Amino acid sequence: VIDIRKLYAETGHFTFDPGYTSTGSCESKITYIDGDAGVLLYRGIPIEELAEHSDFPETCYLLLNGELPTAAQKTKFERDITMHTMVHEQLATFYRGFRRDAHPMAVMCGVVGALSAFYHDSTDIHDPEQRKIASYRLIAKMPTIAAMAYKYSVGQPFMYPKNSLKYAENFLHMCFAVPCEEYVVSPTLAKAMDRIFVLHADHEQNASTSTVRLAGSSGANPFACIAAGIASLWGPAHGGANEAVLKMLDEIGHKSRIPEFVRRAKDKNDTFRLMGFGHRVYKNFDPRAKVMRQTCYEVLNELGVHDDRLELAMELEKLALEDDYFVEKKLYPNVDFYSGIILKAMGFPVSMFTALFAVARTVGWVSQWNEMIEDEGQKIGRPRQLYTGTDRRPYVPLTARG
Ligand code: ACO
């Protein structure tokens, strides 16, 4: 047995950092977070400015290329993406193999992974052109794949993408239009959807992005790497939190029960946590949560929807932020705290929330994957471990095992 503690003592070359709380895994020029100050920049530009002035395709271009596009570059980029929005007809048959009540994230893990069996012309990761096509395919097809997962779950026919529509608009069309009726996407909802996509587009080395990088570091197929990212995103401690927030608000049910849940969240013998609170990096308000809260008001106002959950969420936020436990541990609402309320008002079932996150995060995943492959110093990701098992011992034959 190699005693890694001894190795460390002798060489000083071993770092034990479960959860990577203080280990940088790569260099990156894409996204910057200052968790203490509550700052998030995509390629140097504050998220608040992008949420207000940019749109998702432009943000994708920025993340992928490092600069905002000129008008001509933006038009070309949107056209290039639009060319790839359809999925192979054969891919539709995959859906029929799933139960109708399958979770959309389960379906997406399978279907996105299956893309690797369709696009053999974009898998030479050392060819920048092939990487570009793989990236465009993923960004373009993810809304189609997520919308198909939704349509399949409700038993409606799949809607083809309508390429005269903008990215977020087209996604809403594929989710909510039906062949027998005219459907016009509400500009308010399209704007809100687009903004949600911008807010979720990248977030440096979070669990799913690190998963994509780790999978990709072995030279694996890009579509399979993104499927791995989707699997990681699904967990309730990561992208699945927006779904968990809504379930928690429903469970709380009434303002009068909030103190009971806050008490439970502080109780170390109780596994309950306030979902949508806390973040590994932000020890201040998540800047995306502020934009999301504002968007939430706007969407509910415009739609004339009254949702008790918004009042409940605001009261919960207020009580938690006044509580010593949350103050001391610097637990603030994160991006997922308000997004579920907006998505629910838009008509999405709770199970689709994380799938929408995956649609938005795809550009972050592919940008980081491209950056990793371009980095000549990047090695295969291979963490070490601290072995705590038994020492070397002889094999005991079955007959001698008592
Ligand atoms: N409710 C109650 N207590 C909490 C919460 C919470 N939501 N989050 C953290 N804590 C407490 C922990 O119990 C721990 O207490 P201790 O020091 O007494 O042991 C302390 O705060 C630090 O928490 P960790 O779990 O060590 O922090 P970590 O950085 O590992 O986890 C995480 C961050 C996973 C986001 C955590 O805050 C959490 O589970 N939050 C709820 C789920 C959630 O909202 N996830 C979405 C994250 S954002 C995203 O992925 C888009």
Model ipTM value:
0.95
Task: State which of 246, 267, 277, 282 you would mutate to test the pocket of ligand 1, scoring each by most atoms of that ligand within 8 A of its C-beta.
Answer: 277
Q: Is 279 a catalytic residue?
A: yes
**The ligand 1 atom nearest the CA atom of 277:** 7
C-beta separation of 192 from 342 below 8 A: yes
* Both tokens assigned to 270: 């109780």
In sequence order, which residues have a C-beta less than 8 Å from that of residue 330 and are 6 or more positions away?
Answer: 283, 284
Q: What is the whole-number distance in angstroms between the Cα of residue 57 and the centre of ligand 1?
A: 32
* Nearest by Cα to 142 from 165, 166, 108: 108
Give every residue of the chain whose pLDDT is below 50, as ranges: none
Element (H, E) at 194: helix 187-200
* Nearest by Cα to 56 from 142, 116, 124, 134: 142
Round to whole Å and give the CA distance between 92 and 88: 7
**What confidence score (pLDDT) does residue 225 get?**
98
Buried b (16+ CB within 10 A) or exposed e, 75-93: eebbeebbebbebeeebee
Q: Is 53 a catalytic residue?
A: no
**What confidence score (pLDDT) does residue 385 get?**
86
Round to whole Å and give the CA distance between 148 and 187: 22
C-beta separation of 310 from 337 below 8 A: no
For tokens 């471990």, name the residue: 385
In sequence order, which residues have a C-beta less than 8 Å from that of residue 188 and are 6 or more positions away?
Answer: 298, 299, 302, 303
Number of helices (H), then strands (E), in the chain: 18, 3
**What confidence score (pLDDT) does residue 140 get?**
98
Round to whole Å and give the CA distance between 232 and 216: 14
**The ligand 1 atom nearest the CA atom of 206:** 50
* Nearest by Cα to 236 from 275, 279, 268: 275
Element (H, E) at 395: none
* Both tokens assigned to 127: 């060819």
* Both tokens assigned to 158: 């799949």
Round to whole Å and give the CA distance between 285 and 278: 9
Q: Is 241 in the pocket of ligand 1 (CB under 6 A)?
A: yes
Round to whole Å and give the CA distance between 233 and 5: 33
Supply the residue whose CA is at minimum distance from atom 22 of ligand 1.
Answer: 329
Q: What 8-state DSSP symbol labels residue 118? A: T
Q: Taking the CA of residue 229 as centre, how many other CA atoms within 13 Å lie in the half-sphere pointing to its CB?
A: 34
For tokens 């968790």, name the residue: 35
Q: What is the whole-number distance in angstroms between the Cα of residue 280 and the centre of ligand 1?
A: 7
